[in-house]
Structure 1
């Protein structure tokens, strides 16, 4: 691989495909440390926040390892963070599951809600609608597919920038006729609803793009 070695903390807060994510990151040249230590998570070149399962359970685990503070501290210093699946969802203000609203990290406005589709979970390979000038999807074509496993997502994007910072680049996908946010590039904060670590060569290329961004 051509990517120079970067130190990456893979946050262990009791939720996430840690081993597959670790292997995928190491495959593209990252030096990965699986950690629940907030100090280590702050100090590494990059931070990956994985996540599977229920929003409320993920937030409980994240708070136990000071995850929201770590994410906020890194972003305040312009230091890269990558959220994956529920690790992306918790970046929004709230998650609404079965009528129970849970406060998220609040990095982006909006709520994560159940997809309005006849067949759930949304499980399998899907194309995505990428924005012009995307760094995350540089080198991809519109036929590229990524692997999704989820029943909830952000179905709207409402962040308004002040004109002094670059507007986020938002990628969309659809399942069962319902359109949802599939990925976001927001300065040092990147996130994907799909699983790069389960998306084969396409996922590896995306992770390389992330490592090259810092």
Structure 2
């Protein structure tokens, strides 16, 4: 059974994520311990609330260092909601710019839509070849956010290693809103803007896909 650490840095109620990952087949620990986070087969970085506050909490437990060291060794990391947003270079809220983990170029900014926050169930546009969304077709996922990444800026000439970016739009189906990044698959680094742990069977399948893809040491 793969081991997963949900990084506890003071960002909201994390028990639902822990339970969902356990149901997905992982042995899960909720902790801020650096060594445990480095040693686990998979690391989940959750996040709710303000970008700046999440980054402050993350720095308090050496989160950017943990994420960077894991990725340098090809060790899987999954960001959820603001835990995805902090993986980008910067976040701008109320005119204040905060530096993120800078694993991907790009800016988290307020969505431009008739109704914000974007809250509730929504469909996503998944690229061909996605492993996270394997076996998931025409499903809805649960979002709750006012900010997002509206442009994907990372460019690569190697199509075999190019990140897979999933998109979504705010607003009801009949009213075009604002397009934003809903998920990213980039080697060992994956992330979702939506909450898979709150997204019913589709979210459970996505987490099972991620857990099932974790490399585990031979017994």
Under TM normalisation by the shorter chain, which class is it? over 0.9
Once the two structures are TM-superposed, the CA of residue 119 in structure 1 deviates from its matched residue by 1.0
Residue by residue over 1:96-117, the C-alpha shift from the partner in whole angstroms, topping out at 9 and shown as x without a partner, is 0010000000000010000001
Q: Where does structure 1 differ by over 4 angstroms across 4 or more consecutive aligned residues? A: none
Residue by residue over 1:49-108, the C-alpha shift from the partner in whole angstroms, topping out at 9 and shown as x without a partner, is 000000000000000000000000000000000000000000000000010000000000
Residue by residue over 1:9-50, the C-alpha shift from the partner in whole angstroms, topping out at 9 and shown as x without a partner, is 000000043100001001111100001011110000000000
CA–CA distance in 1 between the matches of 2:83 and 2:144? 13
Is residue 65 of structure 1 aligned with residue 61 of structure 2? yes
Once the two structures are TM-superposed, the CA of residue 165 in structure 1 deviates from its matched residue by 6.3
**1:202 alignment counterpart:** 202
Is residue 156 of structure 1 aligned with residue 151 of structure 2? yes
Residue by residue over 1:131-181, the C-alpha shift from the partner in whole angstroms, topping out at 9 and shown as x without a partner, is 00100100011x200000000000000101252860000000000310000
CA–CA distance in 2 between the matches of 1:107 and 1:66? 15
Once the two structures are TM-superposed, the CA of residue 191 in structure 1 deviates from its matched residue by 0.1
CA–CA distance in 1 between the matches of 2:123 and 2:85? 19
Q: CA RMSD in A?
A: 1.0
Alignment of 1:46-61 (within 5 A): 46-61=42-57
CA–CA distance in 1 between the matches of 2:157 and 2:76? 21
* Equivalent pair of 1:17/1:50 in contact (CA under 8 Å): no
* Equivalent pair of 1:154/1:180 in contact (CA under 8 Å): yes
Task: Give TM-score scaled by structure 1 length.
Answer: 0.96
**1:22 alignment counterpart:** 18
**1:35 alignment counterpart:** 31
**1:184 alignment counterpart:** 184
Task: Give TM-score scaled by structure 2 length.
Answer: 0.93
